[in-house]
Amino acid sequence: MAMEWQPTSLNEFDKLRFRMDTPRVAIDNAVCPNVTLVKVDSARKHGILLEAVQVLTDLNVSIKKAYISSDGRWFMAVFHVTDINGNKLKDENVISYIEQSLGSIHYTKSCGYEGHTALELTGTDRVGLLSEVFAVLADLQCNVVDAKVWTHNGRIASLIYVKDCDSGCQIEDSERIRRIESKLRPVLKGDNGIRSAKTTVSMAVTHTERRLHQMMFDDRDYERNPSTSSMNHDVPEVTVQNWTERGYSVVYVQCKDRPKLLFDVVCTLTDMGYAVFHATIDAQGNRASMEFYIKHTDGTPISSDAERQRVVQCLRAAILRRASEGVRLELYTEDRPCLLAQVTRTFRENGLNVTMAEISTSGGMALNIFYVTDAEGYPSDPKTIQAVREKIGLSHLKVKELPLIYPQNAERNEPGGGVGGTMLLSLGSLVRKNLYNLGLIRSYS
């Protein structure tokens, strides 16, 4: 089924340009038995791959395979997708929403947080930091509506969306904003902070998770610090080499698969100023292999060993930022003032460190997700978790297992399988393989 959406009130020239620019989207549930195929054709522009992947990942769609070709003036992609539990997409509302969203990606600008004040915070991570941040905000009569918190390499980045507690309106008073920033900055820096802390009020509409990547990149979290780097991660394998004859740089990534992995990698490449011309993505079992043929936006490949090493560092950091460490705790309860300050204070008093958090509110209810470890970054003692749950409320704070993302019935032996543990594709065959998987040629052998 193909989708074409066209706004009203356009003159004939604008309508023609709109038809040329609007992506053509087709969603096919008949070709493969275990996955849904999402096909996108569009005029090529920088960042379109990221926008397409963002639409899918925001709906918690799992991308099992993908074939991308974006040379010349046209962008073509086929995504093999399932829901988070490994099943084909069957909900017509979800399918329709994907069609509409992908068909209008050139025109979608809002991140959905209008009317809120966005606080961008970066600083030195430590046990109890979130407790102090939320306590300051509560003291300043700021109601946290939504928030995302990431930690990596001893650093923390957070986007917190707040409103005034009394009026429920966006905070716009410049003096009050300066007071919020001045109160938070020393908290984020900490007693032994080597790098500076940053507190910024943002009016931008950048996608929240893309902005978190940008904040941590600007904070140079990719520069590994042996005293703060995690001891528990499966370090991603990233290599970069040049294909001199064709003028591409080839980026190969192999790591543990997880939700939103492709978004994190493509987001980083895009924001570092690289354009993806061809790519093959393959996730089988619990491993993912990705191969990208890239150039700078000016058409040149990576030019030095130092630049290659920086790409490797930045991609590893982008993958590890979202790697969820610790026990997943979900708090679902009636929202109230100081809720976050009280909950995170209980974590701190019991020696739990929050490595990642997602805060959301809707209809007077709060759904807060925390990943917690002990103070040293190791798995928390179950007795400590139980004590915290009893303190906060057993019926409100629950330990949650991660969704099943590697089901036994995942697609197997499909045509055009991607790379495995080593580079199975020769450099000269990738373009033909992509064209085959896009259905544009009969064979790539």
Alpha carbons within 13 A on the beta-carbon side of 100: 8
Are 237 and 285 members of one domain? yes
Distance, CA of 206 to CA of 435 (rounded, Å): 32
Containing H/E element for 50? helix 48-58
Residue 214 lies in a domain: no
Q: Are residues 121 and 193 both part of a single domain? A: yes
Q: Which tokens is 3 given?
A: 């989708």
Q: Which residue has the tokens 């300066």?
A: 178
Residue 36 in any domain: the answer is: yes
Are 318 and 267 in contact by the 8 Å Cβ rule? The answer is yes
Domains in the chain: how many in total?
2
d(CA 286, CA 421): 12
Q: Is residue 68, in this structure, part of any structural domain at all?
A: yes
Asked if residue 413 and residue 425 are part of one domain, the reply reads yes
The CATH number of residue 336's host domain is 3.30.70.260
Extract the tokens encoding 361. Answer: 């509110």
Cα–Cα distances (Å) from 144 to 7, 189, 353, in that order, read 36, 21, 20
Do residues 354 and 415 touch, judged by C-beta distance below 8 A? Answer: no
Residue 411 is predicted with a pLDDT of 44
Beta-strand relationship, 142-152 and 237-243: unpaired
Establish if 227 belongs to a structural domain: no
- Distance, CA of 110 to CA of 359 (rounded, Å): 20
Q: At what angle do helices 208-218 and 261-271 cross, to 10 degrees?
A: 60
Q: 279 with 415, same domain?
A: yes
Asked if 165 and 188 touch (Cβ cutoff 8 Å), the reply is no
Q: Do residues 361 and 143 touch, judged by C-beta distance below 8 A?
A: no
The residue among 106, 83, 78 whose CA lies nearest residue 93 is 83
Residues contacting residue 416 through CB under 8 Å, at least 6 positions apart = 65, 67, 433, 436, 437
Contact criterion met (CB below 8 Å) for 60 and 84: yes
Answer yes or no: is 343 within a domain.
Answer: yes
143, part of any domain: yes
Domain co-membership, 199 together with 164: yes
240 and 296, same domain (yes or no): yes
DSSP letter for each residue of 357-411: EEEEEETTEEEEEEEEE-TTSSPPPHHHHHHHHHHH-TTTEEE-PPP--S-TT--
Domain hosting residue 414, numbered range: 2-109+232-321+408-437
d(CA 414, CA 144): 46
Same domain, yes or no: 286 and 353:
no
Which tokens is 244 given? Answer: 């001199």
Distance CA(53)–CA(71), nearest Å, equals 18
DSSP H/E element including 161: strand 155-164
Q: pLDDT 10s per residue in the chain (445 long)?
A: 444 445 555 566 555 555 556 889 999 999 999 999 999 999 888 899 999 999 999 999 999 999 999 888 899 999 999 998 899 999 999 999 999 999 887 665 555 566 789 999 999 999 999 999 999 999 999 999 999 999 999 999 999 999 999 888 898 888 999 999 999 999 998 665 556 788 888 766 689 999 999 999 999 999 865 444 444 457 899 999 999 889 999 999 999 999 999 999 999 999 999 999 999 999 988 999 999 999 999 999 999 999 999 999 999 999 999 987 899 999 999 999 999 999 999 999 999 999 999 999 999 999 999 999 999 989 999 999 999 999 999 999 999 865 544 444 444 444 444 333 333 344 455 666 666 666 555 554 4
- Whether residue 241 is found in the same domain as residue 335: no
The pLDDT of residue 439: 59
Q: Are residues 94 and 13 in the same domain?
A: yes
Residue closest to 62 by CA, chosen among 97, 34, 23: 34
Question: Tokens 């915070």 belong to which residue?
Answer: 121
Judge if 92 and 149 occupy the same domain: no
191 vs 240: CA distance, rounded Å: 39
Residue 101 sits in the same domain as residue 16: yes
pLDDT at 230: 47
Q: Are 23 and 40 within 8 A, CB to CB?
A: yes
Q: How many angstroms separate the CA atoms of 47 and 116, rounded?
A: 26
Residue 211 forms part of a structural domain: no
Residues 194, 124: Cα–Cα separation, whole Å: 8
User: Are both 278 and 196 inside the same structural domain?
Assistant: no
- What residues does 372 pair with on adjacent strands? 327, 354
Please tell me the pTM assigned to this model. 0.85
Give the integer Cα–Cα distance in Å for 184 and 301: 42
